[in-house]
A and B are shown apart, each in its own frame.
Chain A
Amino acid sequence: MKGNKKVLKHLQKLLNGELGARDQYFAHSRMYKDWGLNKLYERINHEMEEETEHADMLIERMLFLECEPDFNQQDKARVGKTVPEMLKNDLDVEYEVVDALKAAIKVCEDEQDYDTREILVKLLDDTEMDHAYWLEKQLGLIDRIGIKNYLQSQM
């Protein structure tokens, strides 16, 4: 089924974001593992899998809408050097994804592509309530319990 051009443009932009986020989580999760921060590794590895699932949903939708997803425009991964910096970079990505999703949802609504909209709302829920909220809590904990205690609790 032929998709709306405006909607497809947004889907490509979202795919770029999800792929970039996936690689960033990939890098960060392996760094945590290398440092012995196994709890962080497990959580961020799980985030990486979720971003892959998100990308999958976008790709399948684009193919159904008779458009070829472009895998060569993905956003750059912003790899941090310290744990707070890594968490902060991840949170920045999630905030950007939230903005992009909201913009895309509006376009879907305007163009009456309600099924794409429904898929994006599911992604927005994951992005806001799961990913971003968890990252905000970690940065809050670092402030409250101190970085050393925080790192110890993530071993």
Chain B
Amino acid sequence: MKGDPGVIQQLNLCLKDQLTSINQLFLHARMSKDWGLEEFNEHEYKDSIKAMKFADKIIERILFLEALPNLQDLGKLLIGEDVAEIVKGDLDMLMGLRSNMVETMKVCEDARDYISRDILEHMLEEVEEQIDWRETQQWLIENTGLQNYLQSQTGDE
């Protein structure tokens, strides 16, 4: 089924965001694992896999709309050098990703592509949960102290 060109362009932008976030979250997961922070690693890893599933949904939708999903483009990775920077980098990345999603939903609504909008809406809920988790970590770092926070993220191997 032929899709609206404006919607497709926006969906490709969302795809680029997801592809970028897969890599950023995955590298952060394995960096924290290397530091012995098993629980933090687990969380970042799961979010990275989730981003891959989101990318898949967008790719399938673009193909259904008889257009080409662009997997060449990748945004800039915001890689942190310590845990506080990692959380900040993820938060900045997710906020940017979210605002592109919201913008895309508006374009879908205007073009009456309600199904693309619905797909994004499901993702949006999870993205906001991911944002919330990072904000919670920032609060915890500030209020329990960095060393205590890191201790709570060591977990078992």
Contacts and interface: CB of A to CB of B under 8 A. Distances in A.
A141 B147 contact: no
Interface residues of A, number: 11
Interface string B1-41: 00000000000000000000000000000000011100000
Given A141-B36, A149-B148, 15 more contacts: A137-B34, A137-B36, A138-B36, A140-B35, A141-B150, A141-B154, A144-B147, A144-B150, A145-B147, A145-B150, A145-B154, A149-B150, A150-B151, A152-B151, A153-B151
Nearest to A133: B34
Contacts of A140: 35-36
Contacts of B148: 145, 149
Interface centre among A137, A138, A140, A150 (most CB of B within 10 A): A137
Pick the 6 closest A-B CB pairs, nearest first: A137-B36, A149-B151, A145-B151, A145-B150, A141-B36, A146-B147
Contacts of B34: 137
Interface string B119-157: 000000000000000000000000000011011001000
Interface in A98-155: 137-138, 140-141, 144-146, 149-150, 152-153
B63 to A, nearest CB: 41
Nearest to B149: A145
A28 B85 CA distance: 36
B35 A137 contact: yes
A93 B148 CA distance: 31
Contacts of A152: 151
A153 B36 CA distance: 12
Interface string A21-63: 0000000000000000000000000000000000000000000
Nearest to A146: B147
Contacts of A149: 147-148, 150-151
A141 B36 CA distance: 7
Nearest to A148: B147
Nearest to B153: A145
Contacts of B36: 137-138, 140-141, 144
Contact of B35 (A141, A146, A150, A153): A141
Contacts of B35: 137, 140-141, 144
B147 A153 contact: no
Contacts of B150: 141, 144-145, 149
Contacts of B154: 141, 145, 153
